[in-house]
């Protein structure tokens, strides 16, 4: 019944903003503030989805939690101070990629500390062979979707290839766009070369938090000769540690270590005063990150095995569950088992059904009239009697309480 009340409030006229004489007085300011609050509340009700249509089981309010859960405070938003505190206490933290609203909701609900809106979206969301094709504008779309679904974790947006390599000025401009237009909390950039370190420092000086990334840097596969592990020789291992230290000096709040041997990651973690986040770097980092699709087992077919790295543990086989559900849906539709009466909720009264059939007949649509009448008669039998009559009240076409309940 509450859905009908919400629907009716969505059609109430907007409250007028009262103008009070003596606008500079305290009383007048309070009156105007109350008026604006009323207007904001009205706009919120106007923007609510029409629950007579979207009022399925999933849209109904969940039952109240048990008393012991009601007393728990809502999870606090993760900030840089939160991460520094966990690092100081030696507590591992987690980061998972997300690229859209649903994945962000799942990651947030699981209590993960950080979300990376990674340029890996080019591979797992858009089907490319590497991360290079994705643009800054497309990354912004992914960032905005993730931010809407994840109010608690700290969200980091990747600077894509081509958005920061030319100069420190370009890097700052791109980082500003990711923060302002994408709504994220920080940016991540790859590489530890002097030019990248200078760019990271410029972004930090502009007031933006930066996460570094060394080891395997996927944006540099052209120079690396493909997706190849780094730090496997003495010189290469020293470069990983030196690059991480340089990024710390530039002001980065954390550094990702990707595809390096565990001893190298342990040395870098010990050398740094900021957290390290490992991916394919062993268990000795301050935290760990995995790609959403990889850890859930989203891609199980042979054609997608190339995007699943061998260091990733699959904590579920979600891809198989999705394929099974889609197959069952197809089979039920082909067998005319779906939708059945339980999923055909919108009814028409017997009188209106007859009048509709007669109107069609008068218009010359005899076959269509017969089809409508046959379905109406069948509905009576399927529901074990006359369907519930739903009326349209004089409320601009919104279903009445009987229809929405």
Q: Which residues are catalytic?
A: 258
Count other Cβ atoms within 10 Å, centred on residue 275: 22
Beta strands at 186-188 and 154-158: parallel, antiparallel or unpaired: parallel
User: What distance in Å separates the CA atoms of residue 9 and residue 395, rounded to the nearest whole number?
Assistant: 10
Count other Cβ atoms within 10 Å, centred on residue 258: 24
Nearest CA among 243, 257, 250, 253 for reference residue 273:
253
Could you give the C-alpha distances from 31 to 15, 25, 45, 73, 228, in angstroms and in order? 13, 10, 21, 34, 65
Query: Tokens in use for 394?
Result: 């004089």
**Sequence-ordered list of residues with C-beta below 8 angstroms from that of 233, at least 6 positions apart, any chain:** none
Residue in the structure block whose two tokens are 């006229």:
13
If you write DSSP's letter for every residue of 39-76 in order, what string do you get? Answer: HHHHHHHHTS--HHHH-SGGGSPPPPPPHHHHTSPPPP
User: What distance in Å separates the CA atoms of residue 99 and residue 247, rounded to the nearest whole number?
Assistant: 26
The C-alpha angle with vertex 369 and arms to 391 and 338, in degrees rounded to 5, equals 70
CB 262 within 8 Å of CB 282: yes
User: What distance in Å separates the CA atoms of residue 368 and residue 26, rounded to the nearest whole number?
Assistant: 67
Could you give the C-alpha distances from 230 to 260, 271, 305, 363, in angstroms and in order? 5, 18, 22, 75
DSSP 8-state class, residue 330: H
Secondary structure element (H or E) that encloses residue 320, with its range: helix 318-334
């Amino acid at each position: 019944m509450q859905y009908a009340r919400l629907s009716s409030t969505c059609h109430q006229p907007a409250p007028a903003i009262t103008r009070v004489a003596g606008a500079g007085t305290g009383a007048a300011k309070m009156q105007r503030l109350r008026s604006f609050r009323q207007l904001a509340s009205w706009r919120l009700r106007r923007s609510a989805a029409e629950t007579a249509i979207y009022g399925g089981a999933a849209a109904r309010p969940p039952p109240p939690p048990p008393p012991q859960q009601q007393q728990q405070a809502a999870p606090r938003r993760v900030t840089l101070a939160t991460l520094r505190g966990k690092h100081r206490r030696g507590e591992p933290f987690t980061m998972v990629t997300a690229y859209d609203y649903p994945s962000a909701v799942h990651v947030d609900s699981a209590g993960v500390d950080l979300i990376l809106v990674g340029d890996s979206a080019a591979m797992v969301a858009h089907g490319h062979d590497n991360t290079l094709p994705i643009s800054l504008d497309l990354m912004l779309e992914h960032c905005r979707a993730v931010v809407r679904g994840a109010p608690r974790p700290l969200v980091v947006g990747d600077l894509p290839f081509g958005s920061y390599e030319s100069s420190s000025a370009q890097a700052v401009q791109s980082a500003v766009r990711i923060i302002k237009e994408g709504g994220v909390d920080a940016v991540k950039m790859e590489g530890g070369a002097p030019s990248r370190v200078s760019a990271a420092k410029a972004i930090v000086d502009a007031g933006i938090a930066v996460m570094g990334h060394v080891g395997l840097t996927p944006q540099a596969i052209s120079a690396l000769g493909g997706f190849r592990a780094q730090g496997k020789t003495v010189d290469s291992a020293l470069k990983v540690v030196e690059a991480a230290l340089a990024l710390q000096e530039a002001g980065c709040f954390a550094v990702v270590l990707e595809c390096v041997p565990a001893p190298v990651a342990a040395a870098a973690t010990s050398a740094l005063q900021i957290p390290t986040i490992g991916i394919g770097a062993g268990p000795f980092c301050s935290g760990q990150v995995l790609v959403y699709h990889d850890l859930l087992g989203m891609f199980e077919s042979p054609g997608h095995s190339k995007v699943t790295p061998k260091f990733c543990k699959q904590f579920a086989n979600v891809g198989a569950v999705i394929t099974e559900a889609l197959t069952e849906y197809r089979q039920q539709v082909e067998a005319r088992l779906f939708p059945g009466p339980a999923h055909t909720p919108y009814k028409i009264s017997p009188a209106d059904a007859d009048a509709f059939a007669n109107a069609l007949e008068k218009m010359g649509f005899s076959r269509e009239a017969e089809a409508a009448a046959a379905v109406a008669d069948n509905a009576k039998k399927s529901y074990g009697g006359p369907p519930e009559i739903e009326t349209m009240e004089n409320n601009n076409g919104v279903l009445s309480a009987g229809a929405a309940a």
